[in-house]
Structure 1
């Protein structure tokens, strides 16, 4: 046993002192083909992954960057890139609908740019947390690895920017969700950015140089998050973690994170009308037509509304439209964002639990809290779409039962200890599916994080329960990042 400890110690020293000046992918244990994954992984906390922006956004090297900064990067990436970056610059020009007809100029040697219309599809999928499947959640490890392969990204060394093509909320939320997706899967925050403003507007103001034509080019390389030895899954807040905290630990749940010693503060990132329960936050009109009878089905966006409207117990409302300009879709200045957070009485230092309608739209609020204001934040991606679906209703004659049929179900949320402003939706508009008895009394909602931890470590098991805590496992990549 002593021999193996001695060998591991010496390999660590060699890798640490022998990698000076080498890119992260040249990490010694990988070169030696040694599987030291269990010893090298580090769990990062939400606080460690947070980024406090400079009050002058032009000074940011990552996180939220300006058109001036991106223009400087594109003009000569080799000279102007941050000194801690060894790889290429990759820019995604997000076109959710329509297109500006202008394209970022890149050299196809050290910088690459891609117009992309389906980035949400490439990075998200329907996932089952053990209680109720929800669509639009950050995809599994293979989906993210496929994304890297398609666009020639090596996450160990490259720098990625997500930019709106034209200014609209769909493009902005796609950019922030893409940022969250890569950060969740271990991509270092120092090499991720969201552009403040759109390519179209910044071109019109002569801030960045673009061209009217696009020629595809690819670096023809790719990497995987597994080589980073970083576990960022603490960013995800499960419904089990949320309920366990609200109930002050008085649950029968398993695989839940401890209630944070510093306390927690719940933020609802929906429009105020949804927060107060006066309007539904999930679907409307003809979109109800797909509410067919199902068992243990997925709650899919824009097919049905939730069982009831309202808000999570004790949540404060940070209205998303306050955070950005409604024309340019640029984020407001740092001092304004700080004021909005202060106005909802956030106690400095507490861990934020954030939820909204669902992950993609609410990622804009997450980005402000975590990557501009630098507040430790965990993100309940499933949001009200899941929480509000898990109610017990008494359907009228001929209607299908609700998702929850057992009043004592562990996952029933339409009770005063868990929700406020409860407003029941009409039977005809509610998902006509139910959870089977076993699901209504399952003790863990940690299936997604367990799957993701297993993928990162290349194993079939989760490698431990829970989603975070302090740094463990011997640190991250010995060469930094």
Structure 2
């Protein structure tokens, strides 16, 4: 009993110290000789992690920021930074192809900028959820920690901006996925931002002042997500969570979150032709990791598709191209985005389950829902690429065997209870996933979240703390809020 009392007194002391306007890291017991990590970690719900933008984007201090705001930050970070930020300004100038040849000014002391061409590679991996491995999933903790080390980022105090170099969907998707990746790993939403528009366009409009030369500088420091004591893994929606909800909680799956009390609403973030099944949503070999090695010799490269086309049962379509301008790739106005969501029939306050073709591109839709409109959202990153692969198929002679060969498999998705608009794809174009029987009847798809919880806490004993016994709920984190 006394031990419990001492721990309560310690928490009160920590709270008192941490609420004096000091940076978050001051409140962390990094100098203590014993490990309090399991006790100090707090789980955040999707609602707590959501961010409601100001209807005037110019007024945002984080989330979606304008060129005017970024220019002000860069002109004098020490004077113009948000009052709650105590670290450096880090700007990533995303160049997935080509280059504008313009670079933002930074002082190399408190502000830093990095042109980057491989952001997706640094922040995503092929990850196995226990059922079917999928590429383009947020990377493991070590990969994210390595990212912080490469670019001298301390996640406890620094402020990070992801900005497109030139205006295209690839750059925008990389920016929103990077934002999601850091948020997932505990980076506070108050210190993350995506630039609305590209550096090239904003330079041409005289909104940003840039230079044609770039000189590398690094703060030569780094931190780790473990020191934040924040668990944001509730953002990740597993296929088990999805199937369990579609079956109204009546499944035999394990380590799944219970049905949300407020109810859930499914949103498909693909283009309408993919949503309706009139075109292949996954018709590109590059969308699969090592696709050609998973098929027999008759497979034709670059026509790799899921086992079937369709959509998750009862999903509504939020068309991504309605959310941004197709030339500038700036997001539509707050009012227009609200109308687009309302047009799906979304009942306010329900928890959104979002999926698309794949995580990286669909992250644009996630960013709109969760970080502009402020709606509680869980993201099924594996998307249709995984869900549509898990259909039962009886291939013709010489064709690849189906991922699902057992009609009673727990992970078979091509049933009327789980999918609409089911249309099988040609055998020759479907990869050979070769799921063995143990995977077809395994009861949990929570492997990724378990791995990540274990990494955060530094102990495998805490790996499963987000399992079926409770939902993606929680609160707090920093004792002073945030």
Q: What TM-score comes out, normalization by structure 2 length?
A: 0.95
Distance 1:476 1:284, change over 3 A: closer
8 Å CA contact 2:44–2:231 kept in 1: the answer is yes
Question: Does the Cα contact within 8 Å between 2:400 and 2:428 map onto a contact in 1?
Answer: no
How far the C-alpha of 1:66 sits from its partner, in A, is 0.2
CA 1:178 to 1:391, structure 2 compared with 1: closer, same or farther past 3 Å? same
Q: Look up the match of 1:354.
A: 354
Give 1:237's aligned residue. 237
What are the Cα deviations for residues 90-141 of structure 1, in whole angstroms up to 9, with x where unaligned?
0000000000000010001110000000000000000000000000100000
Q: CA 1:268–1:222 in structure 2 vs 1: closer, same or farther (change >3 Å)?
A: same
Q: In 2, distance between residues paired with 1:285 and 1:339?
A: 35
In structure 2, the partner of 1:341 is 341
Distance 1:430 1:118, change over 3 A: same
* Correspondence for 1:7: 6
RMSD of aligned alpha carbons: 1.8
- Structure 2 Cα separation of the partners of residues 223 and 157 of structure 1: 9
Aligned pairs for 1:89-104 within 5 A? 89-104=89-104
Distance in 2, matches of 1:149 and 1:303, equals 38
Distance (whole Å) between structure 2 residues aligned to residue 302 and residue 157 of structure 1: 44
Equivalent in the alignment of 1:298: none
Q: Distance in 1 between matches of 2:458 and 2:16?
A: 27
Match of residue 472 from structure 2:
469
What does the per-residue CA deviation read over 1:259-312, in whole Å, with 9 as the maximum and x for residues that have no partner? 0111111000000000001111112489999544579xxxxx967210000100
Instruction: Give 3-state SS (helix, strand or coil) of 2:384's partner.
Output: helix
For the 8 Å contact 1:24–1:477, the answer to whether it is kept is yes
Task: Please give the alpha-carbon distance, in whole angstroms, between the structure 1 residues aligned to 2:286 and 2:348.
Answer: 44
**Size of the alignment, in residue pairs?**
473
Q: d(CA) in 2 for partners of 1:87 and 1:352? A: 33
TM-score, normalised by the number of residues in structure 1? 0.95
Task: Tell me the SS of whatever aligns to 1:55.
Answer: coil
Q: Distance in 2 between matches of 1:197 and 1:468?
A: 36
Q: Which residue of 2 aligns with 1:369?
A: 369
CA distance in structure 2 between the partners assigned to 1:100 and 1:282 by the alignment: 30
Give the CA deviation at 1:476.
Answer: 1.6
Matched, 1:406 2:409: no
2:261, 2:397 → 1: CA distance?
48
Equivalent residue, structure 2, for 1:210: 210
| Residue in 1 that maps onto 2:125 | 125
Residues 371-427 of structure 1 deviation map (CA, whole Å, 9 limit, x = unaligned): 000000000000000000001111111212110000110100111111111111111
Question: Given the alignment of the two structures, is residue 136 of structure 1 paired with residue 139 of structure 2, yes or no?
Answer: no
What residue is the counterpart of 2:322 in the other structure?
A: 322
Match of 1:417 in 2: 417
Which position in structure 2 is the counterpart of 1:379? 379
Secondary structure class of the residue paired with 1:31: coil
CA distance, structure 1, for counterparts of residue 155 and residue 128 of structure 2: 26
Is the 1:287–1:303 Cα contact (8 Å) retained in structure 2? no
SS at match of 2:29: helix
Structure 2 segments unaligned to the other structure (5+ residues): none
C-alpha distance in 2, partners of 1:418/1:71?
48
Query: Which deviates more, 27-36 or 176-185?
Result: 27-36
Question: Distance between the aligned counterparts of 2:303 and 2:34, measured in 1?
Answer: 49
Matches within 5 A, 1:25-424: 25-284=25-284, 290-293=291-294, 304-424=304-424
Contact 2:285–2:303 (CA under 8 A) maintained in structure 1: no
2:16 aligned with 1:17: yes
Counterpart in the other structure of 2:455 = 455
Q: Using the alignment, how far apart are the partners of 1:48 and 1:260 within structure 2?
A: 15
Corresponding residue SS for 1:7: helix
Q: Is the 8 A contact 2:285 2:302 kept in 1?
A: no
User: Matched residue of 1:248: which SS?
Assistant: coil
Distance of aligned partners of 1:287 and 1:145 in 2 relative to their CA distance in 1, 3 Å threshold: closer
